[in-house]
């Protein structure tokens, strides 16, 4: 298989990643500029295939993909290096003598070790390092999800992160813009947020614009993802009607997450109630639903 075919199949990838250290302060060294921060300058870590901690079997770097099997992947890299790369082969000379060395240098600490995944040998090293899943995070956003020493980060990570933040800020602006001239909409949004988080908080009926804006800012500052998830929720209109119905007394809230509708024996938890309202909205002539809507006008 040629390099071009390997790229087309996805065995190789047309992207660049960097392996970066995740230094942690310690009682001995907590100055990030100290020569021994993370480890001594010039000190190295050596990696070859990882052994599973429980089964004591070698972890294969060949996982297969959408358009290729693990066997095809192993065969391709074996042809590239001119040796049998079967990780389960007893006394495999390749894996016994080849190591990936990560040496602490100023460049490593500032940028990381570069891997061009379109280059077969660098891609192979990348796959080997991923077998150290308790020590090396597969991406930068996962670096604090375990006791990792290193993490991979895409070459365009900062650019993509910046664009994502811009898109996020624009969307937040759109949501705020859509309700800023309506205290009713702001109250409903905040109450929906509280209900979705199973919190007892409710917005006072006499809350003014200044209070509502401050509450929205608190939500955005503490839970931007939750704010946007609610704004784009496919059940938004149903949740909005429920929030208004609670404020008007058409629905009674008992405790943190139980809801009672007069005329219905069943008690609802929040999401089943939301889905019931969504179903009623499909046939708005349903008497109880029509009554609630009339009370909320």
Q: What is the 3-state secondary structure (H, E, C) of 179-194?
A: HCCCHHHHHHHHHHHH
Ordered by start, the domain boundaries in the chain are 3-155, 173-295
In this predicted structure, the answer to whether residue 10 has a pLDDT above a threshold of 80 is yes
Q: Token pair of 24, please?
A: 């942690």
168-176 mean pLDDT = 90
Write down the residue that tokens 């664009």 correspond to: 163
Interval 92-149: pLDDT, tens? 888 888 889 998 888 888 888 999 999 999 999 999 999 998 999 998 888 888 888 8
**Could you give the C-alpha distances from 175 to 135, 170, 196, 235, 238, in angstroms and in order?**
41, 9, 18, 16, 17
Strand order in the sheet with 136-137: 113-116, 16-21, 150-154, 136-137
Q: Token pair of 198, please?
A: 């199973």
**DSSP state letters, 208-252:** -HHHHHHHHHHHHHH-HHHHHHHHT-TTHHHHHHHHHHHHHTSEE
- What's the CA gap between 61 and 95, in Å, rounded? 11
Q: Which pTM does this prediction carry?
A: 0.56
- Ramachandran region of residue 91, left (φ > 0), alpha (ψ -120 to 50) or beta? left
- Predicted local distance difference test score (pLDDT) of residue 29: 60
Query: Which candidate, 117, 82, 75, 110, places its Cα nearest to that of 98?
Result: 82
In this predicted structure, the answer to whether residue 55 has a pLDDT above a threshold of 90 is no
What are the two backbone dihedrals, phi and then psi, of residue 148, each rounded to the nearest 5 degrees? -80, 150
Q: Token pair of 136, please?
A: 């090396």
Q: Quick check: helix, strand or coil at residue 137?
A: strand
- What's the CA gap between 249 and 261, in Å, rounded? 9
- Predicted local distance difference test score (pLDDT) of residue 22: 87
- Per DSSP (E only), the strands in the chain are 16-21, 44-47, 100-103, 113-116, 136-137, 150-154, 251-254, 258-261, 267-269
The strand pair at 251-254 and 44-47 is best described as: unpaired
User: Which run of H or E residues covers position 246?
Assistant: helix 236-248
Query: Do residues 19 and 110 touch, judged by C-beta distance below 8 A?
Result: no
In this predicted structure, the answer to whether residue 27 has a pLDDT above a threshold of 60 is no
- Predicted local distance difference test score (pLDDT) of residue 119: 93
- Predicted local distance difference test score (pLDDT) of residue 165: 79
Query: Do residues 115 and 122 touch, judged by C-beta distance below 8 A?
Result: yes
Share of the chain above pLDDT 90, in %: 36
Interval 182-227: pLDDT, tens? 988 999 899 999 988 888 778 888 888 999 999 999 999 999 999 9
- Per DSSP (E only), the strands in 50-131 are 100-103, 113-116
Interval 236-246: pLDDT, tens? 999 999 988 88
């Amino acid at each position: 298989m040629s390099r071009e075919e390997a790229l087309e199949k996805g065995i190789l990838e047309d992207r660049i990643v960097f392996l970066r250290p995740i230094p942690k302060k310690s009682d001995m060294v907590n100055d990030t500029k100290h020569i021994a921060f993370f480890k001594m300058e010039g000190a190295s870590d050596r990696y070859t295939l990882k052994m599973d901690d429980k089964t004591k079997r070698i972890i294969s770097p060949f996982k297969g993909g959408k358009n290729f099997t693990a066997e095809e992947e192993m065969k391709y890299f074996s042809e590239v290096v001119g040796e049998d790369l079967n990780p389960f082969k007893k006394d495999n000379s390749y894996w016994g003598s080849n190591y990936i060395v990560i040496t602490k240098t100023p460049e490593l600490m500032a940028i990381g070790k570069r891997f061009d995944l379109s280059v077969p040998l660098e891609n192979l090293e990348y796959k080997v390092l991923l077998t150290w899943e308790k020590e090396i995070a597969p991406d930068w956003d996962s670096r604090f999800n375990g006791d990792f020493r290193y993490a991979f980060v895409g070459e365009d990570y900062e650019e993509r992160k910046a664009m994502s933040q811009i898109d996020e800020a624009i969307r937040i602006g759109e949501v705020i813009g859509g309700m800023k001239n309506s205290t009713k909409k702001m109250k409903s949004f905040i109450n929906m947020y509280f209900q979705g988080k199973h919190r007892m908080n409710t917005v006072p009926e006499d809350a003014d614009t200044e209070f509502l804006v401050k509450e929205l800012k608190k939500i955005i500052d503490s839970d931007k993802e939750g704010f946007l998830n609610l704004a784009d929720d496919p059940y938004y209109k149903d949740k909005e009607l429920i929030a208004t119905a609670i404020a008007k007394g058409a629905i009674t809230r008992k405790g943190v997450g139980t809801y009672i509708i007069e005329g219905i024996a069943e008690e609802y938890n929040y999401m089943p109630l939301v889905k019931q309202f969504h179903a009623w909205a499909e046939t708005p002539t349903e008497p109880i639903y029509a009554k609630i809507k009339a009370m909320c006008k």
